[in-house]
Structure 1
Amino acid sequence: MKGFGTARKGFVTTLSAALVLASGSVGAQPMLSSFGDDMALLFCSQIRHNNSYDFRNKLREYRLRIRDIYPRVRCNGETMIQFAQRNGSFDIGRFIAHSVLIDDLYEVGDANWIRQLPEQNTIRQAIEERLQQVSQ
């Protein structure tokens, strides 16, 4: 039991310490700036566990849109899509890829980052689909 608690505490500490919520205006979203790292930790935890149902509910509860938080939240130094990929959270990764602004995919580097993923990767396919819609 001691080992499990230590590992869990270490993960939370590492995740919490690695989360960065860049400051800046997010429209009329005072809750985001007031919760800061706690909100980022909440969303990153849901991504890690591929929990798209609770992820969506929290967005609704706090009256946020994924496009408002996506460029600002980092999970262990990665974008939410990269973090989803690294943790095998493909459902939520696809949801995020379909929900964010195309400009944000380019701004945070995910539009180029997907090139390192296998072509059959579902997150890569979702992002490529979004990028193709814009180019048509």
Structure 2
Amino acid sequence: MNANPLATVGLMLTLAGLVGSFFNIQLSQWLRDLVAVAQKVKLNKAQGNDNQQKAIVECKIEIEKLANVQSYVINGLVLAFVVFVLVNGLVMIEAASADPLYPHVHRALWVFLWFFIAVSLWLSFDGWRIARGIRTTLAQKP
């Protein structure tokens, strides 16, 4: 039985789409949380009263929770997995290059692959940059 690779690649697209979408939602939430911590640090960095000192301690705890090695490793692994699934889908559809829909599916896969990589890396590096800025500000004396 010969299965049409274009029909089979639907499973790969579904898997990549679901995991990729949830991953980018998680990255967006992570970035929003980092921005919130950065703002809290900015507002309380003077540490002039007890409330500001408590807020800075909370920020130190929060930044360790949000920006640790495990977070970066998991983000990298999920990114690599989705890229693997998409590249595997591209390889799978090569057998259907004579199909009239092949160019459209091939182009869509490439566009999704590059879009996913670009957005994921942008969110990841922006989060890393914000976390580094927070740590620098927290390390400074008031």
The TM tier, using the shorter chain, reads under 0.3
TM-score, normalization: structure 2?
A: 0.25
Tell me which structure has the larger Cα radius of gyration. 2
TM-score, normalization: structure 1?
A: 0.26
Q: Which has the higher contact order (CA 8 A, sep 6+)?
A: 2
